[in-house]
Structure 1
Amino acid sequence: MAGEPVSVDLTVKWSGKEYKITDLSESKTIKDLKLAIFNQTKVLPERQKLLGLKYKGKVPGDDVELSELKIKPNTKIMMMGTCEEELEKVKEPPADMPEVVNDFDIEEEEIAIENREEYLAKIKRRVQDYKIEELNPPRPGKKLLVLDIDYTLFDHRSVAETANELMRPFLHEFLHSAYEDYDIVIWCE
């Protein structure tokens, strides 16, 4: 009959078990679904991550109504989360915990990270291997922006080996934007 509320029935898989959520009206929200899951699993709603539900290509917010998700009958979703009881067990340190040696108490000659031999060798090798190219001659009326390659444009402390892996996030976008107003020089020592 038209006008009668439609119920949503789905199965939540969590921690190796399946939990049936039944008779939840389509007019209810994700928050209501999480409360129904909490009643069966004891995982607080704010600790629940529901996998397999999408709303406009994204994870639905707590205020999204179940009717907007177009959940098919007997849909199975997965939940990630931990119940408070399990978290309390983890918080307590074990009784047989071994003695921990504090590495910071050991006196050694301290070398600043930028002066450590392995990083200096990496930088030297990269500088020797890198070919310098003048991409564009200086433009009249443009100021010069000098950028340092070490730790500004590239993260030389990284374990990466290639220039593409060392680049800072959004480096190309930054350089493209800066080039509109400045001529750019990359400085390496």
Structure 2
Amino acid sequence: MDQITLLINFKSQKIEIEMEKENTIYNLKQKLEELTGVLIKRQKIIGFKLSGKMPDDSIKLSDSKLVISKKIMLIGTPEKVVQEIQQVPDDLPEIINDLEYDYYPSQKDEEAFHQDSRVQELLKKRIETVNIQPISEMRKNVKLLVLDIDHTIFHLGGKGTTIAELTRPYLHYFLKRISPLYDICIWSQTSWKWIEAKCYEMNLFSNPDIKITFIMDTSSMIKIKSNHLENDHDHYVKPLEIIWAKLPEFYSPKNTIHVDDLSRNFVLNPKNGLKIKSFDKLEGPSDDQELLYLTEYLEYIAKYADDFTKLSHENWKTFLKSIGQRMIRNTNQN
């Protein structure tokens, strides 16, 4: 039988696999499970397309309509790592929900940091070194949502509780609704390993209605010193300039919104930041509806706003209430 050689990128590894052309994508996944420890059900392979879509596992590698990219990537978490995190172990990297150290950045803050030579040098280095690897196809006709994980869509710190149980209510509803309107970047202040593992446990990769476009981790952040905080407290920030510089044909300040529970994380881009109420499953009510409100706001601005920097995201809930009241008045008049 004819054979085909596939080069698979998996994390920092390059895996070369010889497959029979009559083998299916499922057979390839079986081989990858043996080599990487990533179960088939947790695997997502980037680099195969059939009529512009992700092919079914039953498709043969010899299928004439199957397009195989020269760059193939396996996304998935080895089962050993999954078992380590399913009960949220004590050594899980801690993201302290230090709201007492948070502040809402002003235009003056933005200008000061953009004039700070040290900050600009750090930013330049990140732009040069960060490699954004797409998980799903980027689209030119949609907006971009940059979404934090810890305390935004997931509660961190519940020992002995599964990750699935710590997911913020309505997360899947929220992501399904906005996916047609936004590419989605998950950006968290932890390593790629933990981001990927959490996303799998929250079923963000396996759900066909949710398209996570790319992931950014702590290595893409920069550390700054803010005089807003006691003793010029140092903290990390998420500079959207990295995305705009790397992918200017898709994203810009006009079409990007960054949702985070810590507003200091978007100090370099305050006009693109939206602070969401911090999610604490152990302290807060079980009927948390923050993502329901956020869904309505993001849908509205995606449809009607040409430039996100012209909006006051700081007052997003007030704006949402005014829109609702206006719609009620219009309905009554009709």
**TM-score (normalised: structure 2):** 0.30
Structure number with the higher helix fraction is 2
**TM-score (normalised: structure 1):** 0.50
